[in-house]
Structure 1
Amino acid sequence: MAIRTSVFSDDFVTDFTAAARGAAELGLDGLAVRNVRGRNIKDLEPDDVRRVRRIADDHGLCVSALGSPYGRGFFLDDDGSRQEAERLLDRMLGYADLLGTRLIRIFAPWLRGHDDYAMWSDRPDFTDCLDRLAEQLAPSVRAAERAGAVLMVETEGASHIGQACETALLLERLDSPALALCWDVANAWRSGETPLDGLTAALRLPVVDVHIKDLHADPADPAKAGTRRAVAGEGDVPYRTILPALIDHGYDGFLTVERNYHPRRPEDDPGLTSDVQSDIRNLRAIVDDIYRR
């Protein structure tokens, strides 16, 4: 199976019908669902979720993944937050079934005081927290196993999993077919893992989605991620090296364009819409070049 391309619908257009129409016109295979008309997926009613599925089907698109907020507000030292996260996951498992996807994006439990990008590379001592992390996540992983779903852990510096190499340790410990890597290369770079080091780790892991966003390097230290965003393929994340390596290794999952515009509305700002359309076009061009080799 060839690699598939998608975009977070709310980064494209907040109205799902318009997002589906635009995605189909640009030749994408699917849409990731996170916010619809300004409402997070967790706040939608089941009938709203069914409507999203019908719209995707009508435009010949799949739902590539359910972008749940699981992990945000879940702290290792707060058992109540774990219980709340597990209740959220129960709802998300049902919604994933309605959407026709097995993939649910989650974050690892959150780190207090790490929301600012400047803090992301200040990683916790993983040897100190791995046992607790695995213990806290195990009930959710078992629930996903029972439902036939896959929890894809996104690399996110504000959480306990910011790097692909950290994901590797967690996946080894939990050893479950219901757990996989959602590799956000830019996030991992901001978390102190260079894209090529991340690639080395990712090639040893079950990867089911790669989030495509580009950054310029830090002018003072090109090995570090800077703060400026770039159109996909025009920054310093080496996608023209990473993506061929993944494909040659047998990767056939999703490449998902992400911009994180919410709560801004792309349709109200032509610059936002132009950027995400450029991301999509550049990504498709990179993928086409790979398959023409």
Structure 2
Amino acid sequence: MKFSVFTASTPDWTPEQAVAKLAEQGWDGIEWRVTDQADADVPGFWAGNRATWPLTGLEDHLADIDRLTRGAGLDYSGIGGYARSFEHADVARLIAATAALGAGRVRVTMPLLKTGDYRDLFAAARKDLEWATAEAAARGVTVLVELHHETIASSASAALRLVDGLDPAAVGVIHDLGNLVIEGHEDHRAAFQLLGPYLQHVHVKNVAWAPQATAADGTVTWRADWATLRAGQADVGAYLAALREHGYDGWVTLEDFSTALPLEERTRDNLAYLRSLLA
């Protein structure tokens, strides 16, 4: 397996700092966050993230992206796009950029459950993916559907329904360990078997549920929050073992949104921990 970092989780670093630090720590690759984001006084994961490239005018930044990435000796594990499946112009822009960079894979996000009737959203997203798959195939790129809570594809079973019958060379699924703690968990081995050739990419982070409030009648409400790889509810070691047993030997991309450790210490420790689990 090869290890990379998704720059959504490195908000404090500029692109120059990100490639330098990740290369020095021994990571194999990087997954660039690409989106038009809000400004923030303090860099954050979702706003003011310094390691994010803008979607608008992305073409003007491709030479810099490639110079930094290749110059540091890093590979692309993919491009972390945020365009929704129905935003065809933005999806086409991401596919073209991914092809130009030789980055191979690009995430296309699925509709949120809260935006409509599930049945209608699912049917429309399937048509969108048929279009995106054709676009990707023409450029030698794979579009990726991430298993993500609060979307129409939170589980492997749902994602398989969405992509089944499409060309697995042009469309695949990101199996995301941390997201599945929040919603969509299925036995990992069964999920890998179900996805078959559509298992194209893996994201790893961890999550822990904790009591948020207790009502007067004793009813407890719970809240999911990001946790370190060691402290979350998902067993990362068992997960990697299941991937290896299945024969997966592709990218494992870290997107650790916990903040217990400073960023540089966090990324360094995560790589050491993952390698120890595979030793």
TM range (shorter): 0.7 to 0.9
The partner residue of 2:266 within 262, 275, 281 is 275
Per the alignment, residue 54 of structure 1 pairs with 67
Gaps in structure 2 of 5+ consecutive residues:
35-48, 213-221
The partner residue of 2:108 within 106, 109, 112 is 106
The CA deviation at 1:180 is: 0.7
Deviations 1:146-200 (A, max 9, x none): 1111011111123211111211111214354311111112112211425xx2441
The CA deviation at 1:202 is: 2.2
CA pair 260-99 structure 1, distance change in 2 beyond 3 A:
farther
Q: TM-score, normalised by structure 1?
A: 0.76
Query: What amino acid sits opposite 1:203 in the alignment?
Result: Q
Per the alignment, residue 78 of structure 1 pairs with none
| Matched residue SS, 1:112 | helix
Per the alignment, residue 148 of structure 1 pairs with 140
The CA deviation at 1:49 is: 1.9
CA distance in 2, matches of 1:154, 1:209: 9
Per the alignment, residue 213 of structure 1 pairs with 205
The count of corresponding residues between Structure 1 and Structure 2 is 253
Deviations 1:240-273 (A, max 9, x none): 1121121122211111110359xxxx9xx97344
CA distance in 1, matches of 2:254, 2:140: 26
Asked if 1:169 is matched to 2:161, the reply is yes
CA distance in 1, matches of 2:177, 2:59: 32
Query: What amino acid sits opposite 1:231 in the alignment?
Result: T
Per the alignment, residue 250 of structure 1 pairs with 247
The CA deviation at 1:99 is: 2.1
Per the alignment, residue 8 of structure 1 pairs with 6
Asked if 1:42 is matched to 2:55, the reply is yes
Query: What amino acid sits opposite 1:157 in the alignment?
Result: H
| Matched residue SS, 1:42 | coil
The CA deviation at 1:217 is: 4.3
Gaps in structure 1 of 5+ consecutive residues:
75-81, 115-123
Asked if 1:139 is matched to 2:131, the reply is yes
CA distance in 2, matches of 1:218, 1:270: 20
The partner residue of 2:173 within 171, 181, 186 is 181
CA distance in 2, matches of 1:247, 1:41: 35
Q: Which moved more, 1:166-175 or 1:152-161?
A: 166-175
Query: Pairwise CA RMSD of aligned residues?
Result: 2.8
